[in-house]
Structures are given as C-alpha cells and as structure tokens.
Amino acid sequence: MNQNLNFTFSTSFTVTLLWILTTKAQSYTIERTIRKTFLEKMAATTFMNMTGDSESSLSAYQRQQTLPETLRFRPLPAPLAEETTTPFATLQIPDQPVPCRRCLQDSRVGDEMLLLSYNPFLGKSPYQCASPIYVHSKPACADAAVQLSGGPIPEQLSKRLLSIRAYDSKHMMRGNEVVDGNQLLEACQRLLGDDASAEYCHVHFGGPGCFAVRIEKVSQPS
Ligand SMILES: [Zn+2]
C-alpha cells in the first residue's frame, strides 16, 4: 500500500515538474518572439524617421546619406535647350550606364540618350561654361522627385569621383573640392555650412568634368 502511495506521489511530482518546465520554456519562447518583433519594429521606425521616406526601394547607402534640411538638390537648374539634334546635341545608345541629369538615375544598356551641351548657371558669371550632359530621350524620363529640403543623395553621385564648385549669390567661386562620391555630404557641409559665403554648388563628375547636379541652400529662390 505504501509502495503504491509512494509510486503515485512520485509520478505526480514528476508530471508536475515536467508541466512547470514546459510552461516556463513556452513563456521564454513567447517572450523572445515578442521582444524580437518589438526590436524589428523599432529599427524600421528609426529608419523611416531618418529618411522621412518609407520607400523600401532606397538603397542602404541612401538611408544613411541624406542632405541636411538646410540644403536641397536642384537638377537641371537652367532650362534644357530644345531636345532635338543640333550641332550641340546628338542621340546615342551608350554601351554602358551613363548618368541622366533629369531623373538622376543611371541609364540601362540599350536606353537612347540625348547627349547635349548644357550651361547650368542662372546668372552671368566669369566661371560660366557649358559641359556635355546625358538625359534619357526615348522614352523620356520624368524629373527626379527631389525634396524641398534635405533628401537622399542619389547613388549616381555617391559612386563617382566628383568635382564640387561653390558659388556665392553673384556667381563668384568661393570654394572647390574634388572628393569621392561617398564624401559628398561632408564636402557640402564644409562648402555650404552656416558660416560659408557660398549659396550653391555645382557638382561635376570628376573625370569628364561634366555638370551633374546643383546643390543649394534652401534660402535660394526656387
Ligand atoms: Zn532619366
């Protein structure tokens, strides 16, 4: 009788112990899952707040490299000349990607591109000169969706050598730097910081020297 009692007590104790251990393990797993989900949501929210953009199409580089709110991009600041073939413009199908200055995207091989001479200055300047630029021709692309202030740095800039020339409101040069594209943000902060007399920069591609984009203080008339 005592043996049966002992056996029953022992079995009950073992079952209870197993139940407690199983419950603990389940609680631990649930807690870990909740904590992981919470951390993932926090990380996603932080990224969206940093960029002001929830589009997942932005590259990892763009999520990290954005202009400060005091600056903005201004693609093709001066009007583009009539897009027809002239002595200063020609249609091409480049055999490698080239940077389009209108949509700020690189072309794909096979895209028809208009190569033309372009002067980006908005006023008279001894520094003004035209340089060759590409824009998508067929199909013509849309203007880049740049933000009124700040905004991610286009990848076509970040991966190329850049020559940056800073000008004041009278279009006189106040500074210049040649940097790798991944240093564009730091160069803009030096050339267009609060203490800088320059109002805007013309960014050129370092090798061929052709105009890429204008970056200006948001105080500039649009
Ligand atoms: Zn384009």
pLDDT tens-digit readout, 135-146: 999 788 999 999
Q: Residue 99: is its pLDDT beyond 90?
A: yes
Q: How far is the CA of 182 from the centre of ligand 1 (A)?
A: 22
Indicate whether 135 and 152 sit together in one domain: yes
Same domain, 182 and 143: yes
Say if 143 falls within a structural domain: yes
CA distance 98 to 116: 13
Q: Is there a domain that residue 177 lies in?
A: yes
Range of the domain at 99: 60-217
Is the model's pLDDT at 6 over the cut of 70?
no
Over residues 76-86, the mean pLDDT reads: 76
**Based on the domain organization, do 4 and 65 belong to the same domain?**
no
Question: What average pLDDT score do residues 102-127 get?
Answer: 95
**Rounded to the nearest whole angstrom, what is the distance from the C-alpha of residue 3 to the centroid of ligand 1?**
88
CA distances for 49 relative to 45, 126, 153, angstroms:
6, 42, 16
* Ligand 1 centroid, distance to 16 Cα (angstroms): 70
Query: Are residues 20 and 96 located together in one domain of the fold?
Result: no
The yes-or-no verdict on residue 148 having pLDDT over 80 is yes
Pair (146, 36) in one structural domain: no
Query: Within a 10 A sphere around the Cβ of 200, how many other Cβ atoms?
Result: 23
pTM metric for this prediction: 0.71
Å from CA of 209 to ligand 1 middle: 19
21: in domain? yes
Residue 222 lies in a domain: no
Q: Lowest-pLDDT range, 1-15, 83-97, 189-203?
A: 1-15
Contact 152, 58 (CB under 8 A): yes
pLDDT mean over 87-113: 93
Do both 75 and 180 map to the same domain? yes
The pairing of strands 151-152 and 66-67 is antiparallel
Q: How confident is the model at residue 222 (pLDDT cuts 50, 70, 90)?
A: confident
Higher pLDDT among residues 27 and 120, named by residue: 120
**Within this chain, do residues 107 and 185 fall inside the same structural domain, yes or no?**
yes
Residue 82 has pLDDT above 70, yes or no: no
pLDDT at 49 > cutoff 50: no
Q: Is residue 211 part of a domain?
A: yes
Distance 191 CA to ligand 1 centre (A): 28
Q: Which is more confident, 93 or 46?
A: 93
The CA 65 to ligand 1 mean position distance, Å, reads 22
pLDDT of residue 44: 37
Instruction: Tell how far the Cα of 10 is from the centroid of ligand 1, in angstroms.
Output: 78
Distance 179 CA to ligand 1 centre (A): 24
Say whether both 29 and 81 belong to one domain.
no
Range with the lowest mean pLDDT among 33-37, 114-118, 139-143? 33-37
Which residues, at least 6 apart from 140, have a Cβ–Cβ distance to it below 8 Å?
83
Q: How many CB atoms lie within 10 A of CB 19?
A: 10
How many residues are there in the chain?
A: 222
Indicate whether 2 and 38 sit together in one domain.
yes
Ligand 1 centroid vs 110 CA: distance in angstroms? 13
Same domain, 106 and 195: yes
Residues 15 and 100 in one domain: no
- Number of domains, the chain: 2
Residues 210 and 108 in one domain: yes
